[in-house]
Amino acid sequence: MSSGLARTALFSYRLAGIVLYPLVGPYLSYRAIKGKEDRSRRLERLGYASLPRPRGPLVWMHAASVGETIAIMPLIRELRRREIHILLTTGTVTSANLVQSRLADEVIHQYVPLDVKFPIKRFVAYWKPDACITAESEIWPTTVSELARRYIPQIRVNARISDRSFDRWRNYGSIAEALFEKMALVVAQSDLDAERFRDLGAWPVIVSGNLKSDTDPPPCDETLLARYRKEIGDRQTWAAISTFDGEEQAVATVHRALKPKNGQLTILVPRHPDRADAIETMLKEAGLTVARRSRNDPLTPETDIFLGDSIGEMGLYLRLTEIAFVGKSLAAAEGGQNPLEPAMLGCAVLSGPHIQNFRDAYQHLVRKGGARIVRDVEMLAKAVHYLMINDLARRKMVDSGYDAMEEMRGALSKTVKALEPYINPLTVSARLQPKAATAAAAVR
- Catalytic positions, please? 68
Compute the C-alpha angle 69/74/80, nearest 5°: 105
Contacts of 427 (CB under 8 A, 6+ apart): 57, 82, 83, 84
Distance CA 412, CA 199 (A): 25
Distance CA 257, CA 382 (A): 10
Q: Which of 161, 160, 130 is nearest to 147 (CA)?
A: 130
CB 371 within 8 A of CB 347: no
Residue 117's H or E segment, with its range, is: helix 117-127
CB 218 within 8 A of CB 238: no
Distance CA 187, CA 181 (A): 14
Helices (H) and strands (E) in the chain, counts: 18, 14
Peptide bond into 204 cis (omega under 30): yes
Residue 391's H or E segment, with its range, is: helix 391-408
Distance CA 195, CA 29 (A): 35
What is the DSSP secondary-structure string of 121-161?
Answer: HHHHHHH--SEEEEETT---HHHHHHHHHTT--EEEEEE--
What is the DSSP secondary-structure string of 176-244?
Answer: HHHHHTT-SEEEESSHHHHHHHHHTT--SEEE---GGGGSPPPP--HHHHHHHHHHHTT--EEEEEEE-
CB 242 within 8 A of CB 271: yes
